[in-house]
Structure 1
Amino acid sequence: MPAPLQITDADRLPPEAVAEVRALLAAALGTDGVRPVSEEGELRLQHGGPAGGRDVVARAADGTLLGYARLEADPAAPEAEAELVVAPPARRRGVGSALLAHLETLAGGRPLRVWAHGERPGSAELAARRGYGRARVLLQMRRPLTDVDPDPRPALPPGVTVRTFRPGADESAWLRVNARAFATHPEQGRWTTEDVALREAEPWFDPAGFFLAWQGDPDDGGRLLGSHWTKVHPAGDEGPDPVGEVYVLGIDPDAQGMRLGRALTDLGLAHLRRQGLDTVLLYVEEDNTPAVHLYERSGFVRHAVDVAWRRDSTPS
């Protein structure tokens, strides 16, 4: 381990430290080929997050940034959750172990869940040494867009139309359906107006790639039935070339059986194809066997794995 290794944490990092961390994240992405911290983690690094969140940095004696971790520890939540990354030149030198020990202390004895993006051998070894077990696995699946119809005309139920998202007008309806569609999802179903606003302010946000299926007139009593929100990752974000994403695809439970999921999927993939993209990705829980099989039948294959490691209790 570097000696002495300085580890500090804060509610929010100052702008110059945020810039250092983002440079570290970019270096790790370039080395590993996978994003070392989730989109949500990066947004909270830049804009802050809920109560209990902490940014943790590890530095060498000369101030060089060696590692970063983000902890979510809502006082009302039964467990804490974190992500961590070590600068590529500083790996296998005890930095990850020191960061994880600090996170455990901050968790205050509660169970701690730590995400490892890409399931690299080092993260599995570190988790095993400290008594963590695999708790959740998230698959990234991909498929080519070269065979996608760029102008699909899906059949829709009578009275149903698909329109693109209108910022400032459609947020409340979308959040209601999102909460219903993902009622059992540990993160997605709890999105708030602020979560949407943060993404609307991101450079990648494009309402032309955000499709909403309405029954009736949205301005005159219409009901939102489902949506497909797409995203375009710029070159260097998910690989050397731009990549599309099925970002959020959700159908209101009351609208299940209307075949809206397939129609919205086709419209979203066609939009991404028209942007000149060759590949699309999505994320799905590994244990959601029906969804995994559905995506495999649709041409998606497994590309990467994110693993949440969990320990039932941490030292207080």
Structure 2
Amino acid sequence: MTSDDSARQGQARTIETHAALAPEQIEAVLDLLTEAARHDGQQAVSEQGRLQLRGGARPGVSHLLLTLAGELVGYAQLEDTDPVEAPAAELVVHPEHRGRGHGRALGAALLAASGKRLRVWAHGGHAAARHLAQVLGLTLFRELRQMRRPLTGLELPDPVLAPGVSVRTFVPGQDDAAWLAVNSAAFAHHPEQGSLTQRDLDDRMSEPWFDPAGFFLAERAGTVIGFHWTKVHAEEQLGEVYVVGVSPTAQGGGLGKSLTTIGLRHLAAQGVPTAMLYVDADNKAAVTVYERLGFTTYETDLMYRTET
């Protein structure tokens, strides 16, 4: 653990860096995230980041806690696991303590910890986040769109599967390795999704929302060649196209669209009125598929980075 103290308006601002958080620290961070989400209308830290809060130390992951007179007012997470890309970070300041330099202090600490090689997410792309990125000398390089469509009165063409291809649901403990393998192959170009491990899968299967009945696998000759993992956000009444992946050996034949349709029909049967998904704006092929399925852009997350 390291710390950096500075005086701010007569109070001591402290930033501490931890490899793992104690239970009371995790609870305080989660309370901070809840307050920020209530104010901002969306989470400041991704699902992966929230999962990485719990379960002890993880290689390459560190947690920065900013306190003011002993009160937690800011949090940042730094993940340095990609062998090529710069470390990635997310940060948040309590809504009641914004505009006082705490975000800049966290950003400076992240730059120092990463050796000034840094990528930072700005979920929702708010003006304050864009300003902070400019202050820290970061430039925009990635745009992640959240798209949505209604599920009420859903009318989609029947999915068409190639000869020899069948679809069934995921069996925990039986299909783990096969799914991890096809996920890695399908997202070899995607640093976050393609690097998921058994621990990451276990984390998600332990979440209350996990339902294998909404996790579809496409097989050919006994080999998994594609999948559509759906998710239901019960509190928000949203169904999610959580992730769709197709093995490089099976791409180009419409399997992704068919799997997406199967998952959307499943979500509609659960009674949720709206479906959502995330897709990189520069993935023109995927954006086109989703637009043809009735999705439109709802909001945008932006990622900034240091110049390389």
* TM-score bracket for this pair, using the shorter chain length: over 0.9
Matches within 5 A, 1:132-143: 132-143=138-149
Q: Retained in 2: the 8 A contact 1:51–1:75?
A: no
Compute the displacement of 1:78 (Å).
5.2
What is the CA distance between 1:49 and its match in structure 2? 5.5
Q: Which has the higher contact order (CA 8 A, sep 6+)?
A: 1
After superposition, residues 222-261 of structure 1 pair within 5 angstroms as 222-235=222-235, 241-261=236-256
Per the alignment, residue 102 of structure 1 pairs with 109
The normalised TM-score by structure 2 is 0.92
Within 1, Cα distance between the matches of 2:288 and 2:158? 25
**1:195 is aligned to 2:200:** yes
Aligned match of 2:64: 56
Return closer, same or farther for 1:49/1:233 CA change in 2, 3 Å cut-off: farther
1:256 is displaced (CA, Å) by: 2.1
1:191 Cα deviation after fit:
1.4
Secondary structure in 1 matching 2:194 = helix
Once the two structures are superposed, the pairs formed by residues 1-316 of structure 1 within 5 Å of their partners are 1-2=8-9, 3-48=11-56, 50-61=58-69, 63-74=70-81, 79-107=86-114, 109-149=115-155, 154-216=159-221, 222-235=222-235, 241-312=236-307
The TM-score with structure 1 as length reference comes to 0.90
- CA change 1:202–1:100 in 2 (3 A) is same
Task: Summarize deviations over 1:117-175 as a string: whole Å, max 9, x none.
Answer: 1111111111111211002111111111113259x853322322211000010111111
Task: Give identity over the alignment, percent.
Answer: 48
Is the alpha carbon distance of 1:139 and 1:112 closer, same or farther for their aligned partners in structure 2, counting shifts above 3 Å?
A: same
CA contact (8 A) 2:139 2:307 kept: no
Aligned partners of 1:137 and 1:286 also within 8 Å: yes
- Output the CA distance in 2 between the equivalents of 1:308 and 1:48: 27
**8 A Cα contact 2:62 2:79, kept in partner:** yes
What is the alpha-carbon distance in structure 2 between the residues aligned to residue 155 and residue 31 of structure 1?
A: 44
CA contact (8 A) 1:231 1:245 kept: yes
Q: Deviations over 1:48-71 (max 9, x none)?
A: 46423211111111x221110001
Task: State whether residues 151 and 275 of structure 2, in contact with CA within 8 Å, keep that contact through their aligned partners in structure 1.
Answer: yes
Distance 1:78 1:182, change over 3 A: closer
Q: Please give the per-residue CA displacement for 1:72-120, whole angstroms capped at 9, x wherever unaligned.
A: 134955522110001111111111011111111211x241111111111
Unaligned runs of 5+ in 2: 1-7
Residues 158 and 77 of structure 1, relative CA distance in 2, 3 Å threshold:
closer
Gaps of 5+ in 1: 217-221, 236-240
Structure 2 counterpart of 1:202, one-letter code: E
Q: Secondary structure at 1:8's aligned position in 2?
A: strand
- Give the total of aligned pairs: 300
3-state DSSP of counterpart to 1:287:
coil
Residues 257-294 of structure 1: CA deviation (Å, up to 9, x unaligned): 43222221111111111111011111111111222222
State the superposition RMSD in angstroms: 1.8
Residue 5 of structure 2 is matched in structure 1 by: none
Deviations 1:169-200 (A, max 9, x none): 01111111111111111221111111111111
Structure-2 change in CA distance of 1:119 and 1:265 (3 Å): same
Question: Does the 8 Å contact 1:80/1:110 carry over to 2?
Answer: no
Equivalent-residue separation in structure 2 for 1:139 and 1:78 (angstroms) = 21
CA–CA distance in structure 2, aligned partners of residues 165 and 82 of structure 1: 32
